[in-house]
Amino acid sequence: MGIDSIADEVLGRIRQEGTYRTLRTLEGPQGPRMKVDGQEVLLFAGSNYLDLAHHEEVTEAAARAARDQGCASGGSRLINGNLAEHEALESELAAFFNQEAALLFNTGYMANLGLIPALVGSGDIIVSDALNHASIIDGAKLSKAETQIFPHGDLDALEDRLAKAAQQKRKVLLVLDGIYSMDGDLSPVAAAAGLAEEYDAILLLDDAHGTGTLGTHGRGSAEHAGLNKDQVHILMGTLGKALGSFGAFAVGSAKLRDLLINTARSFIFSCALSPPQVAAARASLSLLTREPWRRYQLQTNARWLRERLESHGLSCAPSATQIVPVILGENDTTMKVCQGLLERGFYAQGIRHPSVPSGQARLRITPMATHTQGEIFAVADSIAELVHKYAPSRIHATDSEHS
Q: How far apart are CA 293 and CA 297, in angstroms?
A: 6
Q: Which of 209, 224, 233, 371 is catalytic?
A: 209
Q: Are 338 and 363 in contact (CB under 8 A)?
A: yes
Q: Catalytic pick from 135, 143, 181, 274?
A: 181
The strand order across the sheet containing 234-238 reads 101-105, 248-252, 234-238, 202-206, 172-177, 125-129, 146-150
Q: What is the DSSP string of 17-68?
A: HT----PPPEESSSSSEEEETTEEEEE-B-S-TTS-TT-HHHHHHHHHHHHH
Q: Is 241 a residue of the active site?
A: yes
Nearest residue to 273 (alpha-carbon basis) of 400, 392, 104, 150: 104
Report the C-alpha gap between 113 and 151 in whole angstroms. Answer: 23
Identified catalytic residue from 224, 241, 245, 382:
241
User: Under a CB-based contact definition with an 8 Å cutoff, are residues 326 and 363 in contact?
Assistant: yes
Residue 199: DSSP 8-state: T
164 in active site: no
> Which residues are catalytic, by number?
181, 209, 241
